[in-house]
Amino acid sequence: MASPLANLRRSIAEGLESRTLAESCFRWASKRRIMGGGPPYGGPYSDKYFPWVREIHDSPASFNWVMKAAQVGFTEIGINLAFYTLLQLRRSVLYLLPTDTNASEFSRSRISAALSESPLIAQDFTDTNTVNLKQAGPATLYIRGTRSESGLVSIPVSQIIFDELDRMKKNAVEMALERMSGQFVKRVLGLSTPTVGDFGIHRHYLSSTQEHFFFRCPACSRMTELVWPDCIEVVGEHFADPRIHESFLKCKDCKAKLNHQDKPVFLKNGIWRPTNEQANPDLRGFYLNQLYSYTVTPGEIVRQHFKSFGDELAAKEFHNQKLAVPYVGEGAKITDEMINAAVGDHSIRDMRPEDSSRLITMGVDQGKTCYATVVEWLLKSNDLTDINAVADCKVLAFVKFGEDEWHILDDLMREWQVQGCVVDPDPQINEARKFARRHKKFVWLCRYRRGPTAKEIAETTDSDVIHVDRANWLSAVLHRFKVNPPTISLPREISEEYKHHLKNVVRTYERDDDQNAVTEFISTGADHFFHSLAYAEIALPLSTGRGKTQSIAKAP
């Protein structure tokens, strides 16, 4: 039986440990979290193979944004921080993933597995049966996707973790941040591989401290970092070259070889250094590429580099997931040079049509303000199998108006003798329907669709709104600016706002569930005039009877 003195010592030791753990998320995770899997990662949570994670666990900043490569240990920070905040700080946490499916799978595979492997953590939870909600006394872990904004309503939390921020809906991200408004303590951890520049994680990173992970080179003793391509010796000439595995890391300063197997040694005492000294220290940003990874060899990175030659999807994956930098392929967005080449010699003050002999359409995109573009189509061929392909586009007018000024569209319809108009129905669906009824057979309401079920223009049987393939029609607008000479002509008075809207839409690629490449478009800012131009493009085949739709007259 232990003596009273021994019991007192143990009690004091446990109290000191508890206090120490309460002050450090990393130390708490090291004592409480058990990692599954085999060597070398199984056992108590450790930063041995991921030395860059320690400081991020305990960052005192309110906002921490991590622009990262794939598979470098950052999601485990999110899990640790969620458990620590719940169990040690007794505060509720919102853990966000892009979709509800992602959230459910994450809860079942990662959160449930972490609890089953870590009994010291699991014992403090009072309810773990609900997939997207875990209870720990007065605090709750909410696990949500961002596709459904209703799932973010009325959730008061002081800690939010965004996992893969760039794949989330922008409105939902803003709504989630609003969930912290009533909290005295606010903490945000945003994790993501980047996609395109000035968007998502990259936008947050640009306004942050922009910290890089530096270490002391074992050869020259300089503080340095691993960067592409200066820190890798490429061996081989193509992705199937067997010599690729001979590629190796090297110090960018002294060029000495850095053994991949020795990373846990020479990275052990690495530190984060800010590269943006003017930033608010409460807005920390961290950048880490895959050259640091212990599980990815230099040869694997070089192989992906060679695969990216001539393959835009592979190039995107190499830059985003390996190098952790944004990537925009050649011709993937409208540039100032493209816009300048497209400016014609006509004016928005030119003579209006006297009759309907000219082929003119209009597109309208809604937002807090509505935006319209009027265009004329000049046919270059009598082969009208694909009328958009044989028609040049001439922008005649562009306007924006408030939510109570829908009469402006009626004026434009008459002024320009518009033969077909496509309107974004949301958010003012009633006003859009009224406008369509006033111009029966000349106006269509249209929603974008995407994915394998999307069609170029799809009929509907239960709605007065047609559906179109979003990627197809946005690609059509982009193509008009890319070709030489361009097949679109802008008026001399094209506004700076219109130009910005055109430049804010970027084409990229993703993989679907079957790992096939699919085209996606990302908006890095206001893009309403771009979409109004796309709707005017959609109106062309509809107005000439070469699109399929249902009469708007059936609207209730």
pLDDT tens digit sequence for 267-289: 999 999 999 999 999 999 999 99
User: Do the Cβ atoms of 66 and 192 come closer than 8 Å?
Assistant: yes
Model pLDDT, residue 523: 95
Model pLDDT, residue 27: 97
Model pLDDT, residue 389: 94
Lowest mean per-residue pLDDT among 100-114, 272-286, 295-309, 385-399: 100-114
118: left (phi over 0), alpha (psi -120 to 50) or beta: beta
Residue 376 resides in a domain: yes
pLDDT at residue 465 greater than cutoff 80: yes
Model pLDDT, residue 546: 64
Band of residue 550 on the pLDDT scale cut at 50, 70, 90: very low
Residue 415 resides in a domain: yes
Residue 475 resides in a domain: yes
Percentage of residues of the chain with pLDDT beyond 70: 91
Lowest mean per-residue pLDDT among 217-231, 355-369, 538-552: 538-552
Model pLDDT, residue 383: 82
Band of residue 19 on the pLDDT scale cut at 50, 70, 90: low
Lowest mean per-residue pLDDT among 92-96, 189-193, 307-311, 450-454: 450-454
Residue position matching structure tokens 């409460």? 282
pLDDT at residue 556 greater than cutoff 70: no
- For residues 2 and 475, the model is more confident at 475
- For residues 383 and 277, the model is more confident at 277
Lowest mean per-residue pLDDT among 127-141, 182-196, 208-222: 127-141
User: Do the Cβ atoms of 243 and 236 come closer than 8 Å?
Assistant: yes
| Cα 504 → chain centroid | 14
Model pLDDT, residue 6: 52
Model pLDDT, residue 137: 85
Question: What is the token pair recorded at 215?
Answer: 């270490």
Band of residue 12 on the pLDDT scale cut at 50, 70, 90: very low
Residue 454 resides in a domain: yes
Band of residue 172 on the pLDDT scale cut at 50, 70, 90: confident
Band of residue 377 on the pLDDT scale cut at 50, 70, 90: very high
Model pLDDT, residue 460: 52
Residue 88 resides in a domain: no
The arithmetic mean of pLDDT across residues 392-399, rounded, is: 98
pLDDT at residue 205 greater than cutoff 60: yes
pLDDT digits 0-9 by tens, 406-418? 999 999 999 999 9
The residue segments making up the domain with residue 465 are 336-554
Residue 185 resides in a domain: no
Q: Which residues of 130-151 are buried (b: 16+ CB within 10 A; e: fewer)?
A: eebebbbeebbbbbbbbbeeeb
Band of residue 24 on the pLDDT scale cut at 50, 70, 90: very high
* Length of the chain as a residue count: 556
DSSP state for residue 2 in the 8-state scheme: -
Model pLDDT, residue 176: 85
The arithmetic mean of pLDDT across residues 489-511, rounded, is: 96
**In whole angstroms, what is the distance from residue 287 CA to residue 276 CA?**
12
pLDDT at residue 150 greater than cutoff 90: no
pLDDT at residue 228 greater than cutoff 80: yes
Model pLDDT, residue 495: 98
Model pLDDT, residue 549: 43
Model pLDDT, residue 548: 52
pLDDT digits 0-9 by tens, 324-374? 999 999 999 999 999 999 999 999 999 999 888 999 999 999 988 999 999
- The domain that contains 398 carries what CATH number? 3.30.420.240
Percentage of residues of the chain with pLDDT beyond 90: 76
User: Do the Cβ atoms of 532 and 397 come closer than 8 Å?
Assistant: no
The interaxial angle of helices 528-543 and 496-503, nearest 10 deg, is: 80
The arithmetic mean of pLDDT across residues 28-53, rounded, is: 91
* Mean pLDDT rounded to a whole number for the chain: 90
User: Do the Cβ atoms of 358 and 376 come closer than 8 Å?
Assistant: yes
Into how many domains does the chain fold? 1
State the distance between the two ends of the chain, measured CA to CA, in whole angstroms. Answer: 83
Model pLDDT, residue 498: 98
Model pLDDT, residue 458: 65
**In whole angstroms, what is the distance from residue 522 CA to residue 298 CA?**
31
Band of residue 181 on the pLDDT scale cut at 50, 70, 90: confident
Residue 160 resides in a domain: no
Beta bridge partners of 445: 423, 465
pLDDT at residue 384 greater than cutoff 90: no
Residue 405 resides in a domain: yes
322 contact partners, CB below 8 Å, separation of at least 6: 69, 70, 228, 289, 290, 296, 301, 304, 305
- For residues 527 and 184, the model is more confident at 527
